[in-house]
Structure formats: C-alpha cells, structure tokens
Amino acid sequence: MVSSTSESIPRVITLDGLSGSGKSTLARLLANQLGWAYLDSGAWYRALTWAALEREIDVKSAEMVLDLLFNINIDSKKDGAVLVDGAVLTKELRLPEIDIAVSSVADHLSVRGELNEQMRNILKQNDTNGVVADGRDVGSIVFPDSPLKVYVEVPLAERAKRRFAQHQSIGADVTFSDVMEALQSRDARDSQRGDAAPKAQPNSRLLDNQNNSVE
C-alpha cells in the first residue's frame, strides 16, 4: 500500500501499453522534463536477449537465460540507454533477430521475476530523483505502488500506420501488411503472459493517444 506521507510515496510514474502506442516517446520526454530517470523496460528484455544471442544461448531455455542474467550486469542510464557489462547498446537492440527472440525471453516467468528486481534497483540509486518507466507490466508488477499509472491506448490500425512510417523513414523494405501482421502477432504473444499481460489496472488513468501530438 502507498502510505500517506509524501516521503514514502514512490516517485514513479508508469506508462503501459501495446507495441507502437507511443508510450516510450512520452515516457522519455516526461522523464527528461521532470529530471527523473527513464526506465525502458522493453530495452532491458532486449539487452538480455542480445547477450543470449551473442553467447549462442537457447532463448527458449528459462534455466539458461536465468543463469545468464545472474552472470551479466544490466543497467540503465538516466536517459534510458541500457548497458550490458558497462557497454551501452543502441542499434543492436533493434535488430530483427532481437525482435524475434525477445518474445521467448519475455515468456519465462523466472527471468521476468529477476529482471523486475534488477529494474526496481534503479529507484534506489542515490542520484535518482524519480523514475518514469514504460513497458507492458510496469504499473501492475514492476512498480505496483506507483501513485500514477497510465495505460496508453491506440487502435491497431493507427499503431501500424506509425510503425510503417518509422520503417519507411529508415528505408526498411517492409509493406504495410507486414507491419500490421507483426504487430498483431506481438499483441497476441504479449496478451498471453497472464498477470504481466498489458492491461489497464483498476487505478490506471487511460490515455487515448490516437490523435494527440507528442506535446
């Protein structure tokens, strides 16, 4: 329970939602404006997946992935950039092979539990004023005591339109229906993760982000 004294209320704002809902853009800007740390939880899953693929570890094995997680150090900087063993990872995390393998890593409950613990430590770091976190379950599982939980909603067709425009801007060779299909299959996979599936909590604020500008 969140206690009534301001000192014990965790300084955490969470934004959850499906892929392509714009939550990362919002979370990053909000953190920047508040002077808080940005925690991109999806990037942590991607970083662990990257480390597994680097070491040719079978991402379908919960035991092996968990063992890996205990043997590397994942951390993030105030701007959300994720490091593995001190090295910042950026473009590597967005490679198509990571897109494919990350769902298997995120399916392992034991791995999720440990990764969540590690992500919570960001809040305990001395130079952290507060954290704006985004993901699928940051309001429900990672920071259940967050006093401000936002669930970001955007219809599938609009999310696909945005993703397609992103792909076009970097010259990627994909069709609109490829993007639509990929989003649908990620939504389906995300929704099968029980308590960690993306959904609004009883105390979430709903943000209809279909027509808003970023500002």
Contact string (CB under 6 A) for ligand DC, positions 151-180, x = contact: ------------------------------
Asked if residue 12 lies in contact with residue 153, where contact means CB atoms within 8 angstroms, the answer is no
When the beta carbons of 106 and 160 are compared against ligand DC, the nearer one is 106
Closest residue by beta carbon to ligand DC: 42
Query: What is the distance of C-alpha 70 from the center of its chain?
Result: 20
Among 11, 78, 136, 163, contact with ligand DC (rule: CB under 6 A): 136
3 state SS of 86: coil
Q: Tell which residue, 89, 206, 111, has the closest CA to residue 153.
A: 206
Decide if residue 47 touches ligand DC (CB under 6 A). Answer: no
Q: How many residues bind ligand DC (CB under 6 A)?
A: 14
Closest contact distance (angstroms) between CB of 210 and ligand DC is 19
When the beta carbons of 36 and 198 are compared against ligand DC, the nearer one is 198
Decide if residue 69 touches ligand DC (CB under 6 A). Answer: no
Distance from C-alpha of 65 to C-alpha of 135, rounded to nearest angstrom:
20
Decide if residue 135 touches ligand DC (CB under 6 A). Answer: yes
Ramachandran sector of residue 56 (left: φ over 0; alpha: ψ -120 to 50; beta: rest)? left
Among 36, 45, 143, 151, contact with ligand DC (rule: CB under 6 A): 45
When the beta carbons of 72 and 126 are compared against ligand DC, the nearer one is 72
Q: Tell which residue, 196, 209, 190, has the closest CA to residue 150.
A: 209
Decide if residue 42 touches ligand DC (CB under 6 A). Answer: yes
Is beta strand 74-76 parallel, antiparallel or unpaired with respect to 148-153? Answer: unpaired
When the beta carbons of 78 and 136 are compared against ligand DC, the nearer one is 136
Decide if residue 108 touches ligand DC (CB under 6 A). Answer: no
Place of tokens 């076009």: 168
Distance from C-alpha of 147 to C-alpha of 203, rounded to nearest angstrom:
9
Amino acid at 53: L
Residues forming the site for ligand DC (CB under 6 A) = 19, 41-43, 45-46, 102-103, 106, 135-138, 190
